[in-house]
Amino acid sequence: MSVNLRPVGYLTLSICALSSAAMADRGDQGKLSLLYWQAPTLLNPYLASAPKDSEPASLVLEPLARYDENGIMLPWLAEAIPTLENGGIDPDMGSITWTLKQGIKWSDGSDFTAEDVVFTADYCMSADSGCQMTAKFTDVSQVEALDAHTVRISFAKPKPYPYGPFVGLEVPVLQANQFADCIGPDAVNCSAENLSPIGTGPYRITEFKPGDVVSYDINPYYRDATKPGFASVVVKGGGDALGAARAVLETGEFDYAWNLQLDPEVLTKMKAANKGQVVSSFGTAVERLQVNLTNPATDLYDARSTRDGGAHPFLADPRVTKALSLAIDRTALVQIAYGEAGRPTCDVLAAPAIYTSGANDDCLTQDLDRARALLDEAGWTDSDGDGIRDKDGHSMALLYQTSVNPVRQTTQDLLKAWWTEIGVETELRAIAPAVFFGGDQSSPDTFQKFYADLEMFTNFFPGSDPEPYLNNWTCAAIPTPENGWAGMNVPRYCDADYDALIAKLGNTVDLEQRIDISKELNNMLMQAGALIPLVHRGEVSAHATSLQGVRMNVWDSELWNIADWTRAK
């Protein structure tokens, strides 16, 4: 007997060894250190919408469904994604019903139920709560628990795309018990809760010093007994992108660094140390030039850059903006300024791939002669011989502003050089980001006031439905002195046909039709010359070579699958 047992014993041992290599046990991977150079200050995504806060919170708080690295929705705390086919969405689009997974527990051991979901909706929708995510709950009329594991969200009007609430990292489920006293105006005063929320995720917060460091250990009640791999996680904040990249790629002090918008050559040089690798993922972010279709002349005073002040002396002519666009060598721009973090694009709706129009791709190759011909055709010639085109005594000189950022200043320099070649004079201005994006009503330098001819920044939309994004360019979204310069229609584009098509998109359910309408809307914007897209921007992060399982995700939290991360032995 004893002779026979031995080989069996060996066999069992070797199977164990094999399985542990393939699928690690919970917590046997040691410690993981992440570097978020913009330090987290609040771990409640409903009150702090910046990725620097919502991503560290995503280790703890989870939504019903989230997006994978390809932008496809995955059920997370829900059993399945509700659709028309499986009956989860009401046939008249008036409601969506989520079925929650059974047996999920909060990290304090209590059960996760439909009541928590209902509470979270009330929490965000109650008046004066300061909730940053109310846009996700647009048109929601009622959220109710049908039983302990079923939630129905009803909408005030038919909602073709009902995946706003509880999908993605910004709208996770909060524990009703913990936040019970934080409804309404009290939300912001609940510092203990906001700094250390209880969640269902793989980790729980052990210590949080706002603006500095978050420490986590494993949530003992996490639903998968073999995960997460790392026993403890530290998210360290502070410093800058350059230092963060160095800490992962050159010195190896950290395992992961987030948001590394750096000169490609600088990153390449760091990668040579072989300590880590750079990962990028392309979402919907597009760096674009916003064209001021209205006149920003100083002598118009209060009517500056409003539709009351009249059309721009030359940028309102689509031929001129087309020429400016054709003069740009986007491939060279990407190579020099963006590297792996960018791709040339001629569409402002550059992702998801099914929505990409491609009808404007002739701007991808630089064509200076065609650009010159277009300007000639529009009547702008160099009549006084100073190298700058003019017409009716008005010289073709542009004021081109953006925020202070080395990549953007490089872009400014390059574009200025190319436009000089077609006879357009450019004056550059760089504004401190806190002022440019600050929205201060008294400052003349905000991107919404747009007291310039062109300005450049990036915009994107979360998730994969472009409707709210395309809504940005309706007449109603124009920033004006009357509405306190709110609204994202920075080019002051206003076209009744566009608004009509947007209304149609809001009532269209069929995906194919939605795609066609979205492409058409994109093309209208491009052909009117309201925007000049430059670069489809990716998010860039770096991780240590030894770190495995990173699936860089721009649609959701970059740390969305942190439970699967392991360390190569």
Partner 1 sequence: MTDLAVPQATAAQPRRNGFWSRFRRHKGAVIGGTLLGLIMLAVLLGPTLWPYTAGQINLTDRNLGASLSHPMGTDHLGRDLFASVLKGGRVTVLVGLVAMMLSLLIGTAVGVVAGMVRWLDAPLMRLTDLFLALPVLPLLLVTIMLWRDSLRSVFGAEAGIFLLIVTMIGLTSWMQTARILRAEILALKEREFVTAATALGLRPAGIIRRHILPNVMGLIVVSATLGLANAIVTESALSFLGLGFPPDHPTWGRLLFDGTDYLTLTPARALWPGVLITLTVLSANYLGEGLRDAFDPRGTIKRK
Positions touching partner 1 (CB under 8 A) are: 242, 262-263, 265-266, 269-270, 298-299, 332, 336, 404, 406, 409-410, 412-414, 416-417, 427-432, 443-445, 451
Residue 298 CB, nearest distance to partner 1 (Å)?
5
Q: Rank residues 21 and 332 by Cβ distance to partner 1 and give the closer one.
A: 332
Closest among 97, 198, 224 to 149, alpha carbons compared = 97
Would you call 217 helix, strand, or coil by DSSP?
strand
Residue 212 CB, nearest distance to partner 1 (Å)?
24
Closest among 260, 117, 266 to 200, alpha carbons compared = 117
Closest among 258, 226, 234 to 563, alpha carbons compared = 226
Q: DSSP class of residue 309? A: G
Residue 411 CB, nearest distance to partner 1 (Å)?
10
* Residue 111: other Cβ atoms inside 10 A: 14
- Establish whether the linkage from the previous residue to 202 is cis, with ω within 30° of 0: no
Instruction: Report the C-alpha gap between 260 and 239 in whole angstroms.
Output: 12
Q: Rank residues 231 and 428 by Cβ distance to partner 1 and give the closer one.
A: 428
Closest among 467, 458, 468 to 518, alpha carbons compared = 467
Gyration radius of the chain's alpha carbons: 26
Residue 534 CB, nearest distance to partner 1 (Å)?
16
How do beta strands 397-403 and 425-431 pair?
A: parallel
Residue 445 CB, nearest distance to partner 1 (Å)?
7
Element (H, E) at 268: helix 264-271
Contact by Cβ (8 Å): 35, 248: yes
Instruction: Report the C-alpha gap between 109 and 525 in whole angstroms.
Output: 52
Residues pairing with 402 in the sheet: 430, 456
Closest among 230, 224, 275, 283 to 259, alpha carbons compared = 283
> Helices marked H in 283-424 — which ranges?
318-326, 330-333, 368-377, 406-421
Q: Rank residues 131 and 534 by Cβ distance to partner 1 and give the closer one.
A: 534
* Residue 127: other Cβ atoms inside 10 A: 8
Instruction: Report the C-alpha gap between 188 and 204 in whole angstroms.
Output: 21
Element (H, E) at 244: helix 241-249
Residue 148 CB, nearest distance to partner 1 (Å)?
55
Q: Rank residues 105 and 416 by Cβ distance to partner 1 and give the closer one.
A: 416
Residue 533 CB, nearest distance to partner 1 (Å)?
22
Residue 404 CB, nearest distance to partner 1 (Å)?
4
Contact by Cβ (8 Å): 306, 285: no
Residue 542 CB, nearest distance to partner 1 (Å)?
15
Closest among 225, 218, 192 to 204, alpha carbons compared = 218
Q: Rank residues 451 and 460 by Cβ distance to partner 1 and give the closer one.
A: 451
Residue 304 CB, nearest distance to partner 1 (Å)?
9
Q: Rank residues 144 and 253 by Cβ distance to partner 1 and give the closer one.
A: 253
In the chain, % helix, strand, coil (3-state, to 5) comes to 35, 20, 45
Residue 296 CB, nearest distance to partner 1 (Å)?
10
Q: Rank residues 336 and 475 by Cβ distance to partner 1 and give the closer one.
A: 336
Q: Rank residues 391 and 416 by Cβ distance to partner 1 and give the closer one.
A: 416
Residues pairing with 399 in the sheet: 427
Instruction: Report the C-alpha gap between 169 and 56 in whole angstroms.
Output: 10
Residue 117 CB, nearest distance to partner 1 (Å)?
45
